[in-house]
Each structure stands twice: as C-alpha cells, then as structure tokens.
Structure 1
Amino acid sequence: MDSDVIRLATAGDLAVVDEVVNSAYAHYIARIGRKPGPMLDDHAARIAAGQTHLLERDGAMLGLIVLIPQPDALLVENVAVSPAAQGLGLGRRLMDFAETRARAAGLPRLRLYTHVAMVENQAIYARLGYAETRRVIEAGLHRIYMEKPLA
C-alpha cells in the first residue's frame, strides 16, 4: 500500500515495539506454557544494533521485523504484526522486505525459526518457500529452523 513505510526503529520506538511484540505473541503463552522467545528478547539492544525495522501505515506502527545478518544468510529473528492489523498482508510485506534486504546484501538464503507449537506459522512459512532444516531446544524453547534459498 502506498501509505506503508518500513523504517529502522529508534530508541524512541522502544515502548511501541514492546507493545506490538507482547500483543502479537501473548496468545501463545498458554499454548507453550511460558512466554515465547520474542517476548523475552532485549528489544532495546536490537534497536541499538540497527536490527529492528518498523512497518507504519498512515503514521501508525503496525508491525516489525528483526533482521540479523549471518555469514551465509539473513536471519529473521522476529516478525510481529499488531493483532488489530493481522490479516492485512503486513506480515507478508515484512517477509518480502527481508528477502529484498538479503538479496541486496548478496546473501544466498533467509533463515528463521519458530516454536514447534506455532503450527500456523510453520504453515505460513512453508507457503512462502521455507523448508525445515532442523529442530533444537534453545533457551528451553523447542524450535524449528527453516530456510528459504534465494535463487
């Protein structure tokens, strides 16, 4: 949409980043039995490192994506959309942004992970061309890693 802007987050955005992440992931607490990883992340550090990008529409922050360059991939550390804005294609827009950034950096793939209990996310990522590469337990969380090659 023409009114959508994706920009780097600044320190002044921390409260709204926390709000969007917490509201986007809160419903998973009961399913997982604890807060999901994104709710525990140090958002201030991610912002300071230039890793957090915000999606704004008409001046309202509706979503975000955290991107971490790795030697062989761009890691999508977190993608979150405000519950009120879910279903509008914003998550897809953020994932397309990640793909554009990875290509611009000359990286051959995108990488992400999700909790094994977040089955709807796994299905979304599979439809976007991601394939499971491994399952691990990290920080007490059961994660599925997925990758998408950029041909």
Structure 2
Amino acid sequence: MAPLSDPAPRLARAAEAPALAALVERAYAPWVAVIGRRPAPMQDDYTARISAGQTWVVAVDGALAGAAVIEERPDCLWLDNVAVDPAHHGGGLGRALLRFVGREALRRGLPQVGLITNEKMARNIALYQRLGFEEVERREEHGFRRVEFRIAAAHLAG
C-alpha cells in the first residue's frame, strides 16, 4: 500500500456516504466549540456529492481516512472540503490530498484552486498561508465569517 503521504485518492462510492459523513463529523468535531456551531461540511449532503462525482477518498485498511470534496468552476477547481480522520492526523494525508487537488485542477485545465475556511479556524488559515495560498476576501456567508483563498494549481500540485 502507498504511504499516507502519497495516497491514491479514488472517487467515493454511493454506499460510502454514511462513512463519509461520519469521517467529516470526526474531522470537524473540534471546530464546533471554536466557531460556536457545526461547521458547514458537517451539514453537507454526501449522497448528493458522491452522486455528482465530487468526492475523492483515501481508504486505509478498508476504512475512510481522508476525503476531498471538489467542484469544477469556470476559473478554478473549488475545494469545498478536505477532511482527515483524527486517527490519521500528522501523517501527511491532508497535505497529500491538497497536492492531489492541485494535480486534478491541472488535469482539468484549471489554473487555480480556491477554497474558503471559517475566520475562526486560525490553524487552517495559517496552514493555507504556509502552503502559499493567498487570501482573496473575507465575507459573511450563511451566518459564517469566511476567508477565501486561491493558489496556482501548479504550485499546490508540487
């Protein structure tokens, strides 16, 4: 099996929607207290995301360890959500998923990757800045204070 720092993400399967939702619950649970409510990814419809071909996953020993939810937009590949099971934190899986998203954007002919994160998720903001993402704007959206970032897909793909 490839190391978690160099996984081979695959499209999620319909039957994996409940496991995907559970993975996202575990990954985002620590943020509930920080932002004062359930983060948007915890409320997403993963059955619909999988059906639309927007969800890529990495499994370890048959269980989902990480996921990336992406949407193709005219000017970028939008990273709607990246989630890593807490049991796999620190192994490079999150950064590997980000590199995958950069490569996927290039494969689709899209020059940039965009994403938003909650303004109160300071650790995420710092990580995205260290990786070379540039802040585009801050805004209120659906009751959340959001920070939008962009990065050149080639830079992210590494």
TM class by shorter chain equals over 0.9
Look up the match of 2:42. Answer: 39
Which has a greater percent of strand? 1
Q: Give the C-alpha shift of residue 5 in structure 1.
A: 3.2
**How many matched pairs?**
151
Q: Give the C-alpha shift of residue 129 in structure 1.
A: 1.1
Question: Residues of 2 paired with 1:2 and 1:44: CA distance?
Answer: 27
Structure 1 residue runs of 5 or longer lacking an equivalent are: none
Identical-residue share of aligned pairs (%)? 43
2:15 partner SS: helix
Question: Residues of 1 paired with 2:8 and 2:78: CA distance?
Answer: 21
Equivalent of residue 27 in structure 2, options 19, 24, 29: 24
1:49-72 Cα offsets, whole Å, 9 max, x none, are: 000000123433100000100000
Q: CA RMSD in A?
A: 1.2
1:72-102 Cα offsets, whole Å, 9 max, x none, are: 0000000000011011000001000000000
Structure 2 residue runs of 5 or longer lacking an equivalent are: none
Q: Residue type matched to 2:52 in 1?
A: A
Q: Residue type matched to 1:26 in 2?
A: A
* 2:79 is the alignment partner of 1:76: yes
1:21-56 Cα offsets, whole Å, 9 max, x none, are: 001001111111110010011111111100000012
* 2:135 is the alignment partner of 1:138: no
Look up the match of 1:93. Answer: 96
Question: Residues of 1 paired with 2:124 and 2:14: CA distance?
Answer: 29
Q: Residue type matched to 2:41 in 1?
A: P
Question: Residues of 2 paired with 1:72 and 1:100: CA distance?
Answer: 15
Runs of 4+ off more than 3 Å: none
Question: Residues of 2 paired with 1:150 and 1:93: CA distance?
Answer: 14
The TM-score, its normalising length taken from structure 2, stands at 0.91
Alpha carbons 2:103, 2:153 under 8 Å: kept? no
